[in-house]
Amino acid sequence: MADGAAADPARPWLAHYPPNIPAALEVPALRLPDAVARSVERWPERDAFRFYGSRWSYRRFWEASGRFAAALAREGFGPGDRLALYLPNCPAYPIAFFGALRLGAVVVQVSPLYVAEDLERLLRDARPKGIVHLDLHAGPIDALPDDLRPSVRVVGRLREFYPWPARLVVNRIARRKGLHPDLPRRPGYRTFAEMIGTPGEPPRPPGDPASEVAVLQFTGGTSGRPVAARLSHTNLLSNALQCRAWFPVVPEGSSVVLAAIPFFHVYGMTVALTYPLIVGSTIVLELRPDVPEMLRLIDRHHPVELPGVPALYRGLAEDPNVGKYDIRSIRVCVSGSAPLPAEVAKRFESITGGNLIEGYGLTEASPVTHANPIEHGRRKPGSIGLPLPLTDHRVVDLATGERTLPPGEAGELLVRGPQVMLGYLDRPEETARALRGGWLYTGDVAVIDEDGYAFIVDRKKDMIDVGGFKVYPREVEEVIYRVPGVAEAAVIGVPDPSLGEVVKAFVVLRPDAKVGEAEVIAFVRERLAHYKAPRSVEFLSALPKSGVQKVLKNELRARRVPAPAPTARVGGGPGR
């Protein structure tokens, strides 16, 4: 039991904290880079990152991020300016991320899976002054309308992050896969090598870490359309320190973390990047989630911590070659972004000997709010666990959102804590709906038991969770409506044994239209990230509707059929 926990009847969950978890934390008034700078001072020669044979010590990484910040300043960047990161997990990401924050700029998180309309929509909302991307991803940026292309464009060559002789073959392999690793020929770009190769010291901007926006992280908001959550330095630092308090499995300055989940995802940003750096961990970067590659990396680097999503753990547990690799180094795995099936956790723990716990969070909370105890304390099957230190939760009635419900009754889950966002970017009405009276309304329906453990029982928001990546039906439906010959469309999630859910579309055609399933899927894949495209399409003569012509998705869900069995490689999912 945590010290003093039993003395707070308003927070019964504190009595169930493991003895090594504090009931309270002190969050210093620091900007996030200042907290990481402390690790640089403590462990300057320790590996901060490893990337396929290349190593970046804390000192080398920090010096590179400082030069990047100084180069941004020379390009006219200053506090409050926005820099989009359109990057996978590679050394360019943390260097640019912390370089921007050290300057006082705001990082705009953009998935490199986004193309065309996905990309345009986010850039139109965020309006970044600059963007950082790899040569492999130049095409979607080149294709942007002139008014959306950021004025400062930093291009990194993927091969430059590999050691010799591997870099000699990187481009050859990329071209064989249909990629085109060449520098763009448009004016206004800078190479990443130039940015980190020119000496310079970044200015130290003034600012209040509690009110200064550090990251714009896109999420579904309350409307189902992607909106940007404004996350402050205090939000992000608080959540990193909360994670540090909850995962005290290995001493600081000694852990190794495998970062297979992408940093552009809010969960990856906190649990696989900022929290590990604050405690002096070594982060092994995986370019994209791929189970065979993960097994090789685990066998080689012996990570202690492996944050991920259920699809990743299922893929590892079911890989036919898992027995050929030494994966017993893993001690801590925190599953987020989607419900964790009990059989997956049991199987994974049996082959690794580690602890796989389920947690919960959302973009608006930076993102972690709940987790089950790891080595000590009780884990309840099906529960997302207990609120992290400094986090409160309660459930309220669905009708008014004001009446607090007793233990055992289902209602909307509310959370509050220092990790909760400042609000949405340029969305005052949505902000007012999400943040009320100091509480964040999560949109999830939950039950809290007498011990303070929370159980998610339904989702108020009509979103689809594809292996931890959120898909908002409305944006997919709007694209399908533009397929020639389509009269009506509705999208739902259907069960998938690997990814949890995948997208299924129901389509009504116009008279005499000749449109097939493959055409609809291809049309969406050309315009949105591939995991948003339907895996299957069912053609109907009419969509079920209410008396006010609202599509009755419950009726569609009642007739849904499971998606086809997945391939053996989790890399075929949203991480590719």
Task: Check residues 155 and 563 and name the one with the higher pLDDT.
Answer: 155
Looking at the chain, the whole-number percentage of residues with pLDDT higher than 70 is 92
Distance (Å, whole) CA 198 – CA 287: 26
At residue 222, the pLDDT reads 58
At residue 221, the pLDDT reads 61
Query: Which one-letter amino acid corresponds to residue 88?
Result: P
Average pLDDT of the residues in 165-188: 72
The half-sphere exposure of 260 on its side-chain side, counting CA atoms within 13 A, is: 31
H runs (alpha helix) in 177-264 = 192-197, 233-246
As a whole number, the mean pLDDT across the chain is 89
Identify the top-confidence range among 201-210, 343-352, 353-362.
Answer: 353-362
Specify the DSSP class assigned to residue 199. -
Burial category of 420 from C-beta neighbours within 10 Å (exposed 0-12, middle 13-18, buried 19 and up): buried
pLDDT tens digits, 30-64: 999 999 999 999 999 999 999 999 999 999 999 99
The pLDDT of residue 567 is above 60: no
At residue 243, the pLDDT reads 96
Q: Which two tokens stand for residue 160?
A: 């430059």
At residue 226, the pLDDT reads 84
Residues whose CB falls within 8 Å of the CB of residue 522, separated by 6 or more in sequence, listed in order = none
E strand map for 135-238:
152-156, 189-191, 213-219, 227-232
Average pLDDT of the residues in 316-344: 86
CATH fold of 58-207 reads Rossmann fold (3.40.50)
At residue 376, the pLDDT reads 75
E strand map for 263-380:
282-285, 332-335, 355-361, 368-371
Among 183-192, 224-233, 265-274, whose mean pLDDT is lowest? 183-192
Distance (Å, whole) CA 386 – CA 460: 21
The answer to whether 108 and 100 are in contact (CB under 8 A) is no
H runs (alpha helix) in 449-492 = 473-480
Distance (Å, whole) CA 208 – CA 204: 13
Distance (Å, whole) CA 131 – CA 151: 8
Q: Residue 514: what are its φ and ψ, rounded to 5°?
A: -125, 90
> What angle do helix axes 32-42 and 58-74 make, rounded to 10 degrees?
140
Binning pLDDT at 50, 70 and 90, where does residue 377 land? confident
The answer to whether 95 and 65 are in contact (CB under 8 A) is yes
The answer to whether 70 and 273 are in contact (CB under 8 A) is no
Nearest to 363 by CA among 231, 210, 232: 231
Instruction: State the distance between the two ends of the chain, measured CA to CA, in whole angstroms.
Output: 43
Distance (Å, whole) CA 564 – CA 562: 7
At residue 129, the pLDDT reads 97
Distance (Å, whole) CA 282 – CA 49: 6
Angle at CA of residue 338, ends 335 and 339, nearest 5°: 85
Question: Concatenated DSSP letters for 78-132?
Answer: -TT-EEEEE--SSTHHHHHHHHHHHHT-EEEE--TT--HHHHHHHHHHH--SEEE
Q: Which helix (H) or strand (E) holds 309?
A: none
- Residue with token string 């308090």: 245
Distance (Å, whole) CA 158 – CA 134: 6
Alpha-carbon dihedral angle through residues 368, 370, 371, 377, given to the nearest 10 degrees: 140
Residues whose CB falls within 8 Å of the CB of residue 408, separated by 6 or more in sequence, listed in order = 447, 449, 450
- The domain segmentation of the chain, as residue ranges, is 58-207, 393-459, 464-572
Query: Which one-letter amino acid corresponds to residue 159?
Result: R
Task: Check residues 556 and 64 and name the one with the higher pLDDT.
Answer: 64
The pLDDT of residue 569 is above 90: no
Average pLDDT of the residues in 333-338: 82
Query: Which one-letter amino acid corresponds to residue 502?
Result: V
At residue 571, the pLDDT reads 35
CATH of domain 464-572: 3.30.300.30
pLDDT tens digits, 253-273: 999 999 999 999 999 999 999
Average pLDDT of the residues in 514-527: 95
The answer to whether 423 and 363 are in contact (CB under 8 A) is no
Binning pLDDT at 50, 70 and 90, where does residue 550 land? low
Q: Which two tokens stand for residue 492?
A: 């739902």
Q: Which CATH number fits domain 393-459: 3.30.300.30, 2.30.38.10, 3.90.1010.10, 1.10.10.60?
A: 2.30.38.10
